Amino acid sequence: EDVNAMLTVYEIQSLQQGIERTINCFDKREEAYYEFCSSENYFQIKFESLPEDEVVAIELWINVGNQTKGKCYGYDEGVRFGCNRIEMCEFVSQLKEEVLSITG
């Protein structure tokens, strides 16, 4: 919040579409991979579908330099976790609603 990090509408829609493509691969029983990095390099997020388990593996990396206003720099901090198909679908649905409320 102190950094005033924001995404453009284009970035949010791109992220939404990438997640949807990853989820849609479950129907085809294919693996999919999508990687997103904000234009200001605030964070990077990676999605990988695992169709046999209907799970999406997610890695989130946060640029420490941006978060500390340059006091610490040169590395990212991240987490890796999984999310099932239903939760990802709910997330995308909520994301769409928020984008619509912003863009009208």
Does 4 score more than 80 pLDDT? Answer: no
Question: Which pLDDT score is estimated for 48?
Answer: 96
What is the value of pTM for the model shown? 0.82
How many contiguous H segments (helices) and E segments (strands) does the chain have? 3, 4
Q: What is the pLDDT of residues 12-65, one digit of tens each?
A: 989 999 999 999 998 888 899 999 998 888 899 999 999 999 999 999 999 888
What is the SS3 assignment for 84? strand
The larger pLDDT score, comparing residue 19 to residue 75, is at: 19
Phi/psi at 67 (5° precision): -75, -25
Instruction: Grade residue 2 by pLDDT with cuts at 50, 70 and 90.
Output: low
